[in-house]
Amino acid sequence: MAIQRTLSIIKPDAVAKNVIGQIIARFEGAGLKVVAGRLVHLSAAEAGQFYAVHKERPFFKDLVEFMISGPVFVQVLEGEDAIAKNRDLMGATDPKKAEPGTIRADFAESIDANAVHGSDAPETAAVEIAFFFPGMNVYSR
Ligand code: IDP
């Protein structure tokens, strides 16, 4: 299996709960490395651009409002099969349907406030990483 990079976002609900470290510990425990990371408070334009793929969906406005409701922690995770591994650790989009022991089962309240984002494919990972970390700000280690 190849070494991959994926974009992970710890969303405003989880940042407000002060569980950034606990969530990162899940990634590290599964063998993923944080190779870039920072807190950012998105503007509505940035959140809308990031989630542009969903702009026709009925939940788009609520999603953007939620994503700008407080700071988020954006990070790049690197490791074997990082994209799928991160998605497995996150659990299902709706925390009520997420497997016990997943990040969303343990830290998320609702499908709107669901603690984390993770890229879903190599193409989206590349675009999403470049969105937050253009240029030289990602370090392999
Ligand atoms: P994902 O985050 O598990 O990849 P996506 O389908 O890409 O899920 O949706 C992006 C985000 O939009 C979700 O994490 C969730 O916050 C929100 N979302 C998705 N579906 C719904 C819905 O049916 N109602 C409300 N919010 C939704």
The Cα–Cα gap between 39 and 47 comes to 14
- Ligand 1 lined by 109 (C-beta under 6 Å): no
CA angle 15, 113, 132 (to 5 degrees): 55
For the record, the structure tokens of 92 come out as: 């299902």
Q: What is the mean pLDDT of residues 86-103?
A: 98
Is residue 140 pLDDT above 90, yes or no? no
Q: What is the CA radius of gyration of the chain?
A: 14
- Minimal CA–CA distance to 92: which of 111, 119, 112, 72? 111
Which residues belong to the annotated binding site for ATP?
11, 59, 87, 93, 104, 114
Mark whether 41 is an active-site residue.
no
> In this predicted structure, what is the pLDDT of residue 113?
98
Architecture per CATH, 3-40+70-137: 2-Layer Sandwich (3.30)
The Cα–Cα gap between 73 and 50 comes to 14
| Per-residue confidence band for 136, with pLDDT thresholds at 50, 70 and 90 | low
The residues spanned by each domain of the chain are: 3-40+70-137
Give the mean pLDDT of the chain.
Answer: 96
- Minimal CA–CA distance to 90: which of 1, 5, 7? 7
Q: What is the mean pLDDT of residues 16-33?
A: 98
Best mutation site among 6, 69, 99, 114 for ligand 1 pocket (most ligand atoms within 8 Å of CB): 114
Residue 26 in 3-state DSSP? helix
What DSSP letter does each residue of 78-127 carry, written as one string? EEETHHHHHHHHH--SSGGGSPTTSHHHHH--SSSS-SEEE--SHHHHHH
CB atoms within 10 A of CB 105: 17
Residue-wise pLDDT tens digits, 43-61: 999 999 999 999 999 999 9
Q: What predicted TM-score, i.e. pTM, was given to this entire model?
A: 0.96
